[in-house]
Amino acid sequence: MDIFFIYQTNLGVFKMKKIGFLLVLVSCLALFAACGTNSAATKNDKIKIGASPTPHAAILEHIKPELKKKGIDLEIVKFDDYVLPNKALENGDIDANYFSTVPYFNLQKKENNYDFANVGAIHLEPMGIYSHKIKKVSDIPAGAKVIVSNVPSEWGRILNIFEKNNLIKIKEGVQIDKATFDDITENPKHLVFDHSVDPTLLTSAYENNEGDLVAINSNFAYEKGLNPVKDSLMIESDDSPYVNIVATKTSDKNNKDIKKIVEVLHEPAVQKWIEKKWGGSVVPVDK
């Protein structure tokens, strides 16, 4: 026997078989569910950051799950040099970059008229001085050849390491990040500084014994399995101004998503992870 449901509208009274009623009911429920899902689903914002592979990209990779919870889908673009990340930012290919130190950032802004903003200091990678031949600072011979980066903004931090180890003296009143080899006033061991090598080639110079001492940026040292704390002959102090920063265009310095990313990078749990991951050779900062 057929069962009918009777319902009334302004147009009159209608009868509907049970099966028809159920089909209509299911369709309505599905429609409401779909509407509810669409209203609840919110697309995450996409942010693209350029970074050096180690440790910068690794740190960003670590915080991706947390950022996703906060509504940000982070895409990491890796760069192996110090020039392309700023060009990519200038061209709008990325939203921010995370690779440079404050002095390098300031120098690049000045030389290239970049309209960039420093939106947060994240960590320090202490510069290390390495040697296959020499095991103690006191054993550095007279006339030793020291190979360093050809990037002028790096020279002050390298010279500061040598000065703190009583190997040279810098002209009084010269700021660390402004010092050059012309500012050396005393060099009792007559150290010979070769500052013609691209930073990406410093580890090769070390492996090939091209100098008695080689100053290597820590991000490149990590990639070759060197630990600045354990393997260097001399290391930069933690009070160095050469902290690594997140930079963006000035027009984006108040971007809410980029601010969230910096906030997450400054979270205590993330900073502890950084310290543990690199055994203290990457020092988190909160500025």
Note the pLDDT tens digit of each residue in 95-110. 999 999 999 999 999 9
Residue 190 burial by CB count (10 A; 0-12/13-18/19+): exposed, middle or buried? Answer: exposed
3-state secondary structure 105-132: HHHHHHHHCCCEEEEEEEEECCCEEECC
Pick the closest to residue 246 from 106, 96, 94 (CA basis).
96
User: What does the pLDDT look like over 128-166, one tens digit per residue?
Assistant: 999 999 999 999 999 999 999 999 999 999 999 999 999
The Cα 184–Cα 175 span in angstroms is 13
Over residues 66-89, mean pLDDT: 97
Rounded mean pLDDT of the chain? 89
CATH architecture under which domain 128-235 falls: 3-Layer(aba) Sandwich (3.40)
Summarised one tens digit per residue, pLDDT across range 172-212 is 999 988 999 999 999 999 999 999 999 999 999 999 999 99
Given CATH 3.40.190.10, say whether it is the number of domain 45-125+241-284.
Answer: yes
Domain spans of the chain, in order of start: 4-35, 45-125+241-284, 128-235
In the predicted model, is pLDDT for residue 34 greater than 80? no
- The residue written with tokens 């009070």 in the block is 239
Using 50, 70 and 90 to split pLDDT, how confident is the model at 13? very low
Question: Could you check whether 45-125+241-284 and 128-235 share the same CATH topology?
Answer: yes
